[in-house]
Copies of this chain bind each other. A is one copy, B any other.
Amino acid sequence: MDSDPIAQLVERLQAFCLQRRLTVAAAESCTGGLVAKLITDVAGSSGYFRAGLVTYSDGSKTRLLGVPEEELAAHGAVSAQVARSMAVGALNRAGADAAVAVTGVAGPGGGSPAKPVGLTYVAVADAAGVDVRRFVWSGDRSANRSASARAAIELLLERVSAAIQSAGDQ
């Protein structure tokens, strides 16, 4: 077991998904591939990780994930609405059982009073629906990206665990 806390989370996610034959996907904006990189750092991740979509521009969110242009125009790329659409887009386009999406202002630029550096939305989607959470990190670009990636992996693990729990209760 790795001593790095994020690596430990990823190893738990992998063991859980492999055991239950669940597949996952990720859609990333501010983390820029870090979530996919952390997941695929672990040998054997090809058994459950289907795909990652690093949609770093508004246009790529629309082209690759199907995020509506009107939604980007109305709410901005860093919004709960766009996080939800990214997660649903990744779920459908990758054909996975669960998907996580991250969009935020990593910094140092790009912040505003309404959307400060560190503001991040993480959404998780599966067949049952979509959840979104909002965070405001206070680190530099690198720390904010790491915190966002960790939150994404935590929420993905929480969601797949809950889905199984719920299915077992039926």
Contacts and interface: CB of A to CB of B under 8 A. Distances in A.
Specify which of A36, A43, A63 lies most central, judged by the most chain B CB atoms within 10 Å of its CB.
A36
Interface stretch (A48-56, A120-128, A156-164): A48-56
B141 A43 contact: yes
Contacts of A56: 36, 40, 45-46, 49-52
Interface string A58-102: 011001100000000000000000000000000001110000000
A59 B50 contact: yes
B40 A32 contact: yes
Interface in A15-69: 26, 28, 31-37, 39-41, 43-46, 49-57, 59-60, 63-64
A56 to B, nearest CB: 5
Contacts of A53: 51-54, 64
Contacts of A34: 33, 37
A107 interface: yes
A33 B64 CA distance: 16
B95 A63 contact: yes
A33 B51 CA distance: 10
B36 A46 contact: no
Q: What 9 A-B pairs are tightest by C-beta distance, nearest first? A: A32-B40, A33-B36, A52-B54, A33-B33, A51-B60, A33-B37, A36-B54, A37-B37, A34-B37
Interface of A: 26, 28, 31-37, 39-41, 43-46, 49-57, 59-60, 63-64, 93-95, 106-110, 141-142, 145
